[in-house]
């Protein structure tokens, strides 16, 4: 009885209109079956029951579709939450790396400053050594002159 509705999942409910020939039969049938039209009433009731069953099937199909959509949305929601968590971790990692880079840049500046200070000390020591070397050369030249003068006087 309901087989014609099983394949129409999600379809529209369409009112079935009786054809001309069946209309003629229905007019004759009540006259033959009874004068108060109980047969016609029973036929209408049967059609109403079929329509109610069909609407019930449509409602079930709609509920199933809604449930499926809710499940899909929930899965997407979970996926998006997971993605947001991953993105937050990536953001934290980037922030940590930026802090690390800043710390490295500060350390490099400090080492560079210390290297500059060492360079200044080296230049100062070189100048001092040059001064000492000049003094030694000067003193060496005086000693040499004194020796030459002594050798000249002795000869």
How does pLDDT run across 103-142, given as a tens digit for each residue? 999 999 999 999 999 999 999 999 999 999 999 999 999 9
Q: Where are the domains of the chain?
A: 3-154
111 or 10: which leads in pLDDT: 111
Q: Return mean pLDDT, the chain.
A: 83
| 16 pLDDT above the threshold of 60 | no
CB under 8 Å to 13, separation ≥6 — which residues? 51, 54, 55, 58
Nearest to 50, CA basis, from 17, 1, 10, 8: 1
Task: Provide the pLDDT for residue 57.
Answer: 96
Q: What is the pLDDT of residue 2?
A: 45
pLDDT of 149 higher than 70: yes
Q: What would the pLDDT profile of 73-90 be if each residue is shown by its tens digit?
A: 999 999 999 999 999 999
pLDDT greater at residue 76 or residue 15: 76
pLDDT band, residue 154 (cuts 50/70/90)? confident
89-112 average pLDDT score = 97
29 close to 40: Cβ distance less than 8 angstroms: yes
């Amino acid at each position: 009885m309901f087989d014609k509705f099983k394949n129409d999942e999600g379809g529209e409910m369409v009112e079935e209109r009786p054809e001309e020939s069946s209309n003629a039969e229905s007019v004759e049938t009540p006259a033959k079956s009874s004068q108060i039209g109980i047969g016609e009433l029973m036929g209408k009731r049967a059609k109403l029951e079929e329509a109610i069953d069909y609407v019930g099937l449509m409602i079930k199909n709609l509920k199933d579709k809604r449930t499926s959509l809710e499940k899909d949305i929930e899965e997407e929601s979970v996926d998006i939450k997971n993605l947001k968590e991953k993105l937050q971790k990536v953001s934290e990692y980037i922030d940590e790396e930026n802090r690390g880079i800043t710390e490295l840049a500060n350390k490099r500046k400090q080492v560079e400053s210390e290297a500059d200070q060492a360079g200044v000390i080296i230049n100062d020591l070189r100048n001092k050594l040059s001064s000492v070397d000049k003094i030694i050369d000067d003193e060496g030249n005086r000693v040499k002159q004194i020796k030459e003068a002594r050798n000249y006087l002795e000869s």
